[in-house]
Structure 1
Amino acid sequence: MFDRIFKPGADRALLALLLLAGLLMLYRLDGTAHKGRYDDVDRALVARTMVESGDWVVPRLGIHPLFTKPPLMYWITAGLGKITGRRDELPGDLTSVLSMLIVLACTWWIARSMFGKPVALRAGLILSTMYFFVDMSRHTLMDTVLTATMMICAGALFQLVADGQRSRSVWWVAAGVAFAAVIMTKGPVGLPVLALIAVPLLWGQRGIRLRWWQGVGLLLLMLALILPWFILVLHRMPEAADVWRAELFGRMGENELTGTWPTHPAWFYIPQLVGTMPWLPFLIPALGFAWSRRKQRTWLVLLSWFVGGFLFLSLVSSSKRTFYLLPLYPAMAIMIAAAWPTWFAPGTVVKRGIRIASALVVGMVPVGGLIFLGLPLRYPGVPRGPFWVAGILAVAIGVWGVRSWRRSRGEAVIPPVVIGVACLFLAWFGHLVPRENDYISGRPFLSEAARMLGPHKVIMVELRVPLTLFYLGSPPYLNEPRDLVRTRLAEDPLSKVVAKPEIAAQLDFLTPVMIRTLKSPWGETRQMGLYQLQDPVDRD
């Protein structure tokens, strides 16, 4: 069915993919608060500080220099902030949306060069409806930019192999510039996965080698893109070298520099693969299919990319976070898409495991629809209208999917799954997540409190500083334990205090200015309060 979509010289399906993904990523994104998880608010705050301070060389989190990562992601977010004139979440979120659209386009590009256009379309549809892929595209994340730069570099290498000597210099330069962007996004942490792609892809490909002087020129170009920022920072703040050394060696194992990184067991990433839903049931069969064809270069590259990358992140890197898997998601989508024609080849008997996997995938749509219909009845905070509409559509589309599965032995499940999942995602990310994020971040309270602040410092008492600071508008602040609040107020009696009411109740010298109750869609409640010193004396 995919072959009929394409006509010679027309890649309209790529545009359709980008429009679908753009809808899922952008729907009601403007105004969705940061959670304060995944470092989203930290990255947004650093970029906003760049714009407001005019210092685009040294990233700062509040008033403190932040040398842990190079500045490319901050520069892009700050640039979007300048263009849009916005100080809220939008510039950072747009950075991730644009990055993930680039990842999707590069996945199409790589899959087409490896297996052709039908597989490229299938891989794009699978990737754009993986839950974690869409979820991360709606967060201000450095790893979305990292994944985009890595995919551009990988795409250039794949095209280099496909074109051979015809456009050798162009694609080497493109790969080199993208490689420099990888370094300028997050340092060398992306290089192991890139090496796992490049080595099996380029090994033995003699026709694409550069002459020595071309190689030297490419190296100088990359150094010219990478070194200036590091030299400028070291010139202004030599202590940055210690931070970079800790960042580099702290990722690779235990030593005296790794004390601040949380560690997780080697199996940490295995349950994180649930983020590939609804396509997870096809992952194990796709890995088995790839292993059976490991002597073919294309499949060897995919195995090295996903399995090698997964093992490296699990066994070598001491720092483990869910979104570190993002560069592996395109490999999973391409493997499933490329195995599909063989699984469901005309005239063959579909294996029982594949039939079960396809039944599980298509069955998730009506089951999800039924869950969406019931959630507003169980939790009054869940928006009824969007969830009921999405639930009804998903059930109807799921019935269509089940009928297609029965008629076609399972291979026609992609269209109903994609459409049904899109309906569910629009309700979830567009209507539920904003309410949940308001509760987690405290944005409604903090935005109201920001309008009551004067020129004096704000004292934050045992709160998450980046999140509180971002939504208060970055005023002068102190972050103090409760024992020091009286001392700080003695220094400036007109300072305001932001604290939870249960903490403020222990400080009998405070009087409330405002207390608000925040409610989550799941029925949970919490309170936040703005306080001042009782009967403060104006010393100005």
Structure 2
Amino acid sequence: MKKHLPHVLLLLIVCAIVFGFKLGDYDFWGRHGEARRAEVSREMVVSGNWLVPHLNGEPFVTKPPLYYWAAAAMFELTGRFDELSARIPSVIAGTLGVFVTYCWANAMFSARIGCFAGIILATSFLYGGMARTAGLDMMLTLFTTAALYFFTLGYLRRQIAANLSGKWNLSTGMYLLSAFCIGLATMTKNPIGFAVPLLAIGAFILLTRDFKLLLETKPWWLLLVFLLVVLPWFVMVYARVPDFFDILHQETLGRYIDPEGTPHYEPFYYYIPALGAFAPWVIFLPGMIISLISKKLHQISRSHLLIIVASVTTFLLFSSVGSKREYYLLPIYPFLAILVAKYWDEYLEIKRTTNARWIEKGMAIPFAGFAGLLCLVGVALPMAAHIYLPAYLLLSVLFGLLFLASGMFLFHWLLHGNVSGTFAVFSIATILIYVFVLLTIVPETNVYRSRKTFFNEVAAIAGEHKIIDYNYEGFDAQFYLQRIVPVAKEIEDLAAFADLQKPVFIIMTSEQYDHLQQNVPELAHTFEQVLQRTWRSAINPGRTRSLVLLKTL
């Protein structure tokens, strides 16, 4: 345990900075995303109905409730409906995911590779960003990773288990834990939770032709554990929401049967460029792939093969679904982190062989490119800040010097073959990028994209009177107003609300209000504008957004 303590402390520090720094200092952005998940959890607490998730007062069962339960529990624990409480479950899941990845790589290879993998995972841009987000995908990634980790532990202990044939043993216990984690993953995001680990395990068994492993895992017990985790909630919700299975079908098989009819439809190859979100470590993927191809099969251990198979099957799984978003691919990130960490370790232990030359080239080119980019950013950053963000000029000069120094150190240690030093500087430079963005870009973006102050003003003006949403359809309204907000989508709906007991308040965009005045002036004249707020982008001043609050006369 003592030999792991420095690694554990280092990973905790990295996670605390990347995931926790200024976590509650920015609001929910956009109409959906974080605000929608947080609002479901808020309504869960307010209504006391923890079984059937609701959104704006209506059943919302497109996803199982595990994240909603976690966020609702944090709201109860902190006594506040705020952004920080909604994001804490993702921070915890992200941190645990880093440590599961560390333990997994340590079990397969070494503690050093585990430490590399943990740092790579924590500092990859998408993973770090999603760990700071109120959403489902970080919890999903934790449980799919843990499922494969426990499967690997069981597999590695199978020789010991062979001497205890037919009996319960540690290997069987690991397989049961794997099934339990698959159940939790399914309770986070439906069938994708079991598809990721089961496809990887199935493909691994096919490739190795180790079919007796199927019986060794005692699949009947694994199925029982999985069903005990998953089945109760699905059965109870089906009894309360009659069209539950229609919704479930649309969210699962419907995305395969009618891919172009699903939201966020993208072509099959969408995730190839989307892997750029694994930055900055993505620059080592080409060299890592070439290194793997140059190896002979007997040079790749079974555990290493499982990681490779998991990466390929997960990538193909998400690519085959019509609905695609960058962050959907998050479950592949722990696998990529371990593969890149193993590649780094091979570079550290390099020997003069054909394979080693590929590793040297695969490392030197990305290193030189990243070092040059850091130097360029270090020089250009103060000039860019002077034009776009003058309030942060001094801070930009400081970070510009740090980036410039990091680039120069990378060049120096690359030339002198100091692999540990280059990894340290590369990681520190990545963390500095996070910190700089959180200190400068995020606050300015928050000013432009947050509507929290507007909704706080609306709440103060409207008091207990009814508030209507006319085609704004943003769930940040419900969360910040802390109430159900009926939605009017058509002019007829708006007119019906206007006939209710006065006063009634209506939220809409300025563009919608202008359209209403031009096209339905007789209805517009029944409203009085009581509040208007406009947000202008600091980086692109020509870009503005505006909302108004109307009151019925």
The normalised TM-score by structure 2 is 0.88
Listed one character per residue, the Cα deviations across residues 52-95 of structure 1 (whole Å, up to 9, x for unaligned) are 11000111111111111111111111111111112122222111
* Structure 1 CA distance for aligned equivalents of residues 313 and 220 of structure 2: 30
Which residue in 2 is equivalent to 1:248?
Answer: 252
Which residue in 1 is equivalent to 2:165?
Answer: none
Whether 2:57 is the aligned partner of 1:48: answer: no
Whether 2:267 is the aligned partner of 1:265: answer: yes
What is the CA distance between 1:37 and its match in structure 2? 6.7
Which residue in 2 is equivalent to 1:362?
Answer: 371
Q: Within 5 Å, which residues of 2 pair with 1:453-532?
A: 453-482=462-491, 484-505=493-514, 506=517, 507-522=524-539, 523=541, 524-532=543-551
Whether 2:405 is the aligned partner of 1:396: answer: yes
Cα distance change of structure 1 residues 306 and 96 upon mapping to structure 2, 3 Å threshold: same
Alignment check: 8 A CA contact 2:20 2:91 kept = yes
Whether 2:193 is the aligned partner of 1:190: answer: yes
What is the CA distance between 1:205 and its match in structure 2? 6.1
Equivalent of 2:124 in 120, 124, 130: 130
What is the CA distance between 1:440 and its match in structure 2? 1.9
What is the CA distance between 1:178 and its match in structure 2? 0.7
Range that drifts further, 336-345 or 20-29: 336-345
Which residue in 2 is equivalent to 1:115?
Answer: 109
Range that drifts further, 64-73 or 348-357: 348-357
Cα distance change of structure 1 residues 385 and 436 upon mapping to structure 2, 3 Å threshold: same
Which residue in 2 is equivalent to 1:293?
Answer: 295
What is the CA distance between 1:372 and its match in structure 2? 3.4
Q: Within 5 Å, which residues of 2 pair with 1:262-411?
A: 262-293=264-295, 295=297, 296=300, 297-314=302-319, 316-346=320-350, 348=352, 351-380=360-389, 383-408=392-417
Alignment check: 8 A CA contact 1:373 1:391 kept = yes
Amino acid at match of 1:403: H
What is the CA distance between 1:439 and its match in structure 2? 1.9
* Structure 2 CA distance for aligned equivalents of residues 230 and 188 of structure 1: 12
What is the CA distance between 1:201 and its match in structure 2? 5.0
Cα distance change of structure 1 residues 271 and 335 upon mapping to structure 2, 3 Å threshold: same
Cα distance change of structure 1 residues 260 and 327 upon mapping to structure 2, 3 Å threshold: closer
Structure 2: gaps (5+ residues) = 162-168, 518-523
Listed one character per residue, the Cα deviations across residues 16-56 of structure 1 (whole Å, up to 9, x for unaligned) are 11221221111111132122377222111111110111000
Alignment check: 8 A CA contact 1:372 1:391 kept = yes
The normalised TM-score by structure 1 is 0.90
Which residue in 1 is equivalent to 2:423?
Answer: 414
What is the CA distance between 1:283 and its match in structure 2? 0.5
What is the CA distance between 1:421 and its match in structure 2? 1.6
* Structure 2 CA distance for aligned equivalents of residues 432 and 207 of structure 1: 54
* Structure 1 CA distance for aligned equivalents of residues 221 and 349 of structure 2: 48
* Structure 2 CA distance for aligned equivalents of residues 39 and 179 of structure 1: 25
Cα distance change of structure 1 residues 342 and 188 upon mapping to structure 2, 3 Å threshold: same
What is the CA distance between 1:509 and its match in structure 2? 3.3
* Structure 1 CA distance for aligned equivalents of residues 176 and 313 of structure 2: 26
What is the CA distance between 1:260 and its match in structure 2? 4.2
Which residue in 1 is equivalent to 2:164?
Answer: none
Which residue in 2 is equivalent to 1:3?
Answer: none
* Structure 1 CA distance for aligned equivalents of residues 371 and 157 of structure 2: 38
Listed one character per residue, the Cα deviations across residues 489-514 of structure 1 (whole Å, up to 9, x for unaligned) are 12233011212233324234332222
What is the CA distance between 1:459 and its match in structure 2? 1.7
Equivalent of 1:237 in 241, 245, 266: 241
* Structure 2 CA distance for aligned equivalents of residues 8 and 456 of structure 1: 61
* Structure 2 CA distance for aligned equivalents of residues 159 and 362 of structure 1: 38
* Structure 2 CA distance for aligned equivalents of residues 197 and 430 of structure 1: 40
Cα distance change of structure 1 residues 274 and 216 upon mapping to structure 2, 3 Å threshold: closer
* Structure 1 CA distance for aligned equivalents of residues 149 and 351 of structure 2: 35
* Larger helix percent: 2
Cα distance change of structure 1 residues 485 and 208 upon mapping to structure 2, 3 Å threshold: closer
Which residue in 2 is equivalent to 1:423?
Answer: 432
Give RMSD over aligned pairs. 2.6
What is the CA distance between 1:9 and its match in structure 2? 4.1
* Structure 1 CA distance for aligned equivalents of residues 32 and 101 of structure 2: 24
Cα distance change of structure 1 residues 408 and 239 upon mapping to structure 2, 3 Å threshold: same
Range that drifts further, 200-209 or 401-410: 200-209
What is the CA distance between 1:347 and its match in structure 2? 5.2
What is the CA distance between 1:293 and its match in structure 2? 3.5
Structure 1: gaps (5+ residues) = 1-6
Amino acid at match of 2:334: P
Equivalent of 1:224 in 218, 225, 228: 228
* Structure 2 CA distance for aligned equivalents of residues 370 and 331 of structure 1: 35
Q: Within 5 Å, which residues of 2 pair with 1:77-156?
A: 77-156=71-150
* Structure 2 CA distance for aligned equivalents of residues 272 and 51 of structure 1: 36
Which residue in 1 is equivalent to 2:441?
Answer: 432
Alignment check: 8 A CA contact 1:127 1:330 kept = yes
Alignment check: 8 A CA contact 1:359 1:410 kept = no
Alignment check: 8 A CA contact 1:278 1:364 kept = no
What is the CA distance between 1:294 and its match in structure 2? 6.4
What is the CA distance between 1:303 and its match in structure 2? 2.1
Cα distance change of structure 1 residues 121 and 59 upon mapping to structure 2, 3 Å threshold: same
Which residue in 1 is equivalent to 2:172?
Answer: 169
What is the CA distance between 1:333 and its match in structure 2? 1.4
Q: Secondary structure at the match of 1:34?
A: coil
Alignment check: 8 A CA contact 1:197 1:304 kept = yes
